[in-house]
Amino acid sequence: MRPIGTATRGTTNPNRLRRMDRWIAATHGPALRRADAPLSIDLGYGAAPWTAVELLQRLRTAEPRTEVVGVEIDPDRVAAAKPYEREGLTFLHGGFEIPVPRRPDLIRAANVLRQYDEGEVAQVWQRLCARLAPDGLLVEGTCDEIGRRHVWVALGPEGPRTVTFAARLGSLDRPSDLADRLPKALIHRNVPGEAVHSFLRDFDRAWATAAPYAALGARQRWTTAVRALSADWPLTDGVRRWRQGEVTVKWAALRPDAY
């Protein structure tokens, strides 16, 4: 069967997805530990296999039995990755059909849907979620080239659950700097009248109000701003994650009408 999807640009760098991986290991680790044979997919890993290699290393800190399969639609990229295979890490030719024999406990699709039309996103999400194990997770989002800024959506078999914003805090002038990294489902919705625009507007206001805390460091300013934001927005995490330069909000609060 011909793989479903189209090839990405393939751009990748070592450590690019460290923030996303760190969040997955922390929040999805319990589900991986419950799985009989935990399987994770790095979908569209790109021209080099670094992100799949790193995903295996990071997930095994949460569950040492985890296996990772890198899936790429470009057969030349799969051939180039084969020398990096090792125990627990393999590479396959494929696309959104996810050509593995059992349902994965995790699918990570980073910087894959940016080139697609917004109208295609819901169908891709539905296809990928249908492949998940009952306790599985799809993480789909975007980051910059060196991994300073990320935004991703977490989805279960039933559909989208949360949106996470993550950054190296020293790189931010204001939280809305993350708007450039919104995933495809949200990036065109950052306009007045849309929920994600209101969220980033309120976040910027909270950040400005927390300016006196900058003397204590960007982390303290971020956690103070996020705490204020939690009064009006349904955040799902707490100070431990905020201190990592993250904040997670329920998808329902940011969901565009099209979803």
Q: Half-sphere exposure (CA, 13 Å, Cβ side) for 194?
A: 16
Mean pLDDT (the chain) is: 96
Q: Is 246:152 a contact under the CB 8 Å cutoff? A: no
State the pLDDT at residue 162. 98
State whether residue 163 is helix, strand or coil: strand
Whether 5 has a pLDDT exceeding 90, the answer reads no
Q: Give the model's confidence band at 89: pLDDT under 50 very low, under 70 low, under 90 confident, else very high.
A: very high
| CB neighbourhood size of 80 (10 A) | 15
Only one residue has tokens 């993550």, namely 166
Alpha carbon 63 to its chain centroid, in Å, reads 19
Contact 189, 199 (CB under 8 A): no
40: β partners = 68, 106
- Model confidence at 1: pLDDT above 80: no
**Cα(203)–Cα(193) distance, integer angstroms:** 16
Percent pLDDT > 90 in the chain is 92
Q: What is the pLDDT of residues 159-210, one digit of tens each?
A: 999 999 999 999 899 999 999 999 999 999 999 999 999 999 999 999 999 9
Contact assessment for residue 40 and residue 68, using Cβ atoms and an 8 Å cutoff = yes
**Quick one: pLDDT band at residue 251, thresholds 50, 70, 90?**
very high
Residue 88 confidence (pLDDT) above 80: yes
Which pLDDT score, from 0 to 100, does residue 189 have?
96
> Would you tell me how many other CB atoms lie within 10 Å of the CB of residue 200?
21
Sheet of 39-43, strand order = 89-93, 67-72, 39-43, 106-110, 137-143, 149-156, 159-167, 246-250
Q: In the structure, what pLDDT confidence band is assigned to residue 38 with cuts at 50, 70 and 90?
A: very high
Look at the domain 18-167 and name its fold. Answer: Rossmann fold (3.40.50)
Rounded distance between C-alpha atoms, residue 15 and residue 40, angstroms: 18
**Model pLDDT, residue 37:** 97
Per domain, the residue ranges of the chain are 18-167, 169-234
The whole-number pLDDT of residue 43 equals: 97
Structure tokens at 149: 């800024």
Q: What is the pLDDT of residue 13?
A: 82
**Spatial separation of the C-alpha atoms in residues 120 and 141, rounded to whole Å:** 15
pLDDT, mean of residues 87-94: 97
